[in-house]
Amino acid sequence: MTVSVVTVCYNAAEAIERTICSVISQTFNSIDYIIIDGGSTDGTNDVIHNYHSNLSYYVSEPDRGIYDAMNKGIDASKGEYVIFLNAGDVFSHSKVIEELYDRIQSEGSMSDLIYGDVIYQYAFGERYVSSKDLGRIKYDMVFSHQSVFVRSEILKKRHFDLRYRLAADYDFLLWAYLNKRSFSYIDIPVSVVDASGGATYGHFVKSRKESYIIQCSYGGNRILCYCWYLWKISYFKLTSTIKDIFPRDLLRLLISKKHAGK
């Protein structure tokens, strides 16, 4: 089995090397590594060129947004499965793909989508987030898109919908679930996602609006979906306020205790 790892980036000179090193240090011996750069001007391409021999495909050109770049990565992929690892994000350890492959082989779970857990890395510490019940995907993302391996033949037939600027990955995953594609959960942390920059309130609201539109487009209950939309916005505002008020050392201590108790 070959796994295609797709990294999309734009002006990520300070972050891209960390991601590249994480991918090329994987012990799994059949990785098809693809980098799609959006035409960076900050030195990102100089860093990428240092690792050119480790790449299966690389292009630097303007695109129509992150999902257009991801679609280019899909078209260039040659593996049976595809996973997206954004600039700044890394795999949880060097043997994670090998470990996941061994698990799915032993359990006979070569499903259309294979997903695991994620570790979010904030300025004040890390937070381990387990995947939620798959049935909840009708209302929200239940796992990180940096922690899911998708059969490439499915992605090649149904690219990310460019009508959505922030939630096209959710649109694809919800479509896959509602169209009875098979999912398998492997209880290991797949990726460490850089969340140190945080999300602005305006960005989060736009993302949730797109998710609400997507849910309704698939026949979701508009009232329930809208209530969930309002709850998520309120929760985001509350947690953002807490992060602004609480000292970072205290947040780091709380996060570390929760992580230790997992």
How many other C-beta atoms are found inside a 10 Å radius of the C-beta of residue 214?
22
State residue 244's pLDDT score.
58
State residue 156's pLDDT score.
98
State residue 17's pLDDT score.
98
Torsion of CA 199, 205, 210, 214, to 10 degrees: 110
117, 131 in Cβ contact below 8 A?
yes
State residue 247's pLDDT score.
55
State residue 237's pLDDT score.
77
Written as tens digits, the pLDDT of the chain (262 aa) is: 999 999 999 999 999 999 999 999 999 999 999 999 999 999 999 999 999 999 999 999 999 999 999 999 999 999 999 999 999 999 999 999 999 999 988 877 789 999 999 999 987 778 899 999 999 999 999 999 999 999 999 999 999 999 999 999 999 999 999 999 999 999 999 999 988 766 667 788 899 999 999 999 999 989 998 898 898 888 777 776 765 565 556 555 555 555 554 5
Amino acid letter for position 104: I
120, 53 in Cβ contact below 8 A?
no
State residue 181's pLDDT score.
97
DSSP 8-state symbol, 138 = G
State residue 108's pLDDT score.
74
pTM of the predicted model as reported, rounded to 2 decimal places: 0.89
Give the whole-angstrom CA distance, residue 156 versus residue 241.
Answer: 41
State residue 90's pLDDT score.
98
